[in-house]
Amino acid sequence: MLSTLRALPADEVARRSDLVISHLVHPGQWCGPGAVAALFGGLPGEPDLLPLLPWFHGRGVRVVFFAVEGRRLVPCEVRSADDLRRGALGVWEPVVEPARLVAPADLTVILTPALAFGRCDGSRLGRGAGFYDRFFADPRITARRIGIGFDLQVLSAVPVEPHDARVHALVTESGWTLY
């Protein structure tokens, strides 16, 4: 799967990303004013979610991206693309300022990447470092987890261990799947 995603041409990733975003913004009732939405900053072959930033802000939704500190994800509010930089893993990360840190319990929805997703049960196969599984294990986090990926990442089943966190829904270029 990793080599398949890396082999996707940039224009194909952009085309598929636009379709994913079209499903997220229409009808757009899953995340309303006052919500706090976490986005991810895209490894090669992952959907580009940056175009959602002004859409969320226009609806009164605060947006966070995750900074990587050691082996943990730290949510930090982002007001514009100027608040982002490429981190050590090549993903968009927020410029961390203490005033922009967001408590994990304040997150309403977390758009969640994966290498692959299980078609029927919301399972997700990460990339092996466990960042999201450790983050989701925090009992203060009650946010809705929405998997974001491409149709080719949806498999009949993916390997699951007891600590693996599932998503509540999945959005691909074909639309929404609720679990």
pLDDT of residue 88: 79
pLDDT at 116 over 90: yes
- How far, in Å, CA of 116 to CA of 106, rounded? 27
Ordered by start, the domain boundaries in the chain are 2-178
pLDDT of residue 151: 98
Q: Which of 150, 172, 143, 175 is nearest to 61 (CA)?
A: 143
Residue 84 token pair: 């982002």
Which parts of the chain fold into alpha helices (H)? 2-7, 10-25, 52-58, 131-136
pTM: 0.95
Q: At 26, is the pLDDT very low, low, confident or very high (cuts 50, 70, 90)? A: confident
For the domain made up of 2-178, the CATH class stated in words is alpha beta
pLDDT at 21 over 90: yes
| Average pLDDT score over residue span 104-108 | 97
Q: Could you tell me if 146 and 109 are in contact, meaning their C-beta atoms sit under 8 angstroms apart?
A: yes
Which is higher by pLDDT, 28 or 55? 55
| Average pLDDT score over residue span 2-8 | 94
Q: Which of 134, 67, 144 is nearest to 100 (CA)?
A: 67
- How far, in Å, CA of 179 to CA of 170, rounded? 8
